Amino acid sequence: MDFGIKNPRILESCDLFVVATPWNWAHFDLCPFGVPIAEENRISPLLLDSEPFLRLLERLDALTFGPEGMPMPRWVFYDGSELPGGIAGFGRRAERLTAAQRAAMRVPLSYEGLVPFSMYIAIPMLPSGSWMGHNLASLNGVFPEAGLSGLASVTKAFGLRIYRARYQFGATQWRSRALHIHTKFGPLDLVTAYTPAHSDPMTLTYRVAITLDGLRHACGDPNVHLERLRPHLWLDVDDVAQACRLQDEIEGGARYCIADRPRREGERLRVPIARRET
């Protein structure tokens, strides 16, 4: 890599992979930031031989989102991720896992390939260059002994580079811990602040322009400093009325963004909101 990364152990001990159809590979950067994706780690969901790895992706999803009741069924992986878009992430060879890690991931005794430790799923949108971030998962919290702090942020940065994304859209909840990651990439322009179309109306929709500095910052490069806007207000993540008022203003033509990461004040979690010039 031609820039610094906060936790070099990620690149030293893990291998990049991408799951996508071969016709999508042709449009991807398969050597993001100068880190090549080995041919055996370019996995097609169209092949029978890919089934063991794809099952491990399901297990990764279950370990990270299962306790919250949000694991993805297999058809969503295929119909909504692998076929139209891509899954990028980092993994370790099966022989490098501890016995406890193998058991947690339910790695078959006969399996000797790559075991995914993280994944970033994105789906292409119109216009070209815009991608919808669908899922970001990391086993850093499940396997703290692996020494992979920052894995989710680095995975998302590499994934966006692989997809050659220019803009990334996302939908997440105001209370979600993922906001701490997403704001590393720069200010998040708010598309919605309150979203009844989602099963959880306290969901926000955002768009962020993808820049090299933003990707480097998310990887923890100490030489990058992102300019931050001064907040006009702080949104309480549990204040439905405040979110609705902000949504009304957005629908009226006002432009807002999430300026920086959320801040905890005692029992309250608040998000800094800045107003953009229209």
Domain extent listing, the chain: 1-165, 167-278
pLDDT of 12 higher than 70? yes
What is the distance between the alpha carbons of residues 73 and 256, in angstroms, rounded to a whole number?
35
pLDDT of 239 higher than 90? yes
pLDDT per residue as tens digits for the range 204-224? 999 999 999 999 999 999 999
The residues, ordered by sequence, that sit 6+ positions from 218 with a Cβ below 8 Å of its Cβ are 153, 154, 156, 157, 181, 184, 185
Q: In this structure, what DSSP letter does residue 73 have? A: P
Q: Are 92 and 13 in contact (CB under 8 A)?
A: yes
pLDDT per residue as tens digits for the range 124-169? 999 889 999 999 999 999 999 999 999 999 999 999 999 999 999 9
Other Cβ atoms less than 10 A from the Cβ of 233: the count is 14
Burial of residue 228, with CB atoms counted within 10 A of its CB: 0-12 exposed, 13-18 middle, 19 or more buried: middle
Quote the tokens at residue 271.
């998000």
pTM across the whole model: 0.94
Confidence of residue 70 (pLDDT cuts 50, 70, 90): low
> In DSSP terms, which residues pair with 189 in a beta bridge?
207, 257
What is the distance between the alpha carbons of residues 59 and 15, in angstroms, rounded to a whole number?
18
Q: Are 62 and 105 in contact (CB under 8 A)?
A: no
The residues, ordered by sequence, that sit 6+ positions from 39 with a Cβ below 8 Å of its Cβ are none
